[in-house]
Copies of this chain bind each other. A is one copy, B any other.
Amino acid sequence: MAMINDKLKKEILEFRKKRDWEKFHKPKDLAISIVLEASELLENFQWKTDTEVAEMLKGKSKTAIEEEIADIAIYLTYLSHDLGINIEDIIANKLEKNKKKYPADKVRGSAKKYDEY
């Protein structure tokens, strides 16, 4: 139940290779693509109150959200692969950094602290 297992990662990379699309995937354009997909994800929440979001998530719109999340994860996989970045390692590093920056006993439940996160 990992986020992306090795078999899936391999399939993501093979999808691109079979289409000879590596040549389009310059890092800057992959970073642009992640922003664009993230915006498409956010678009599903535009103008909605918390109640309307809750309603939406019960309905068919969840599929649209799932597809945008999948797109972001796919582009993240390409960019990380191309830059030689191991996502698990950098997440673990970032968590360690955040643990020091936001000691649990100091920031617990504090909106003020959280806002400065």
A interface, CB within 8 angstroms of B: 1-6, 8-9, 11-12, 15, 18-21, 23-24, 26-29, 31-36, 38-48, 50, 52-53, 57, 62, 65-67, 69-74, 76-77, 79-80, 83, 85-88, 90-95, 97-99, 102, 104, 107-109, 111, 114-115
How many copies of this protein are present in the complex?
Answer: 4
* Interface of chain A, main secondary structure: helix
Cα–Cα, bound, A40→B36 (Å): 8
A31/B41 in contact, CB under 8 A = yes
List residues of chain B with CB within 8 A of the CB of A74.
Answer: 91, 94-95
Closest-CB distance, A76 to chain B (whole angstroms):
6
Contact partner, A27, options B57, B76, B92, Cβ 8 Å: B57
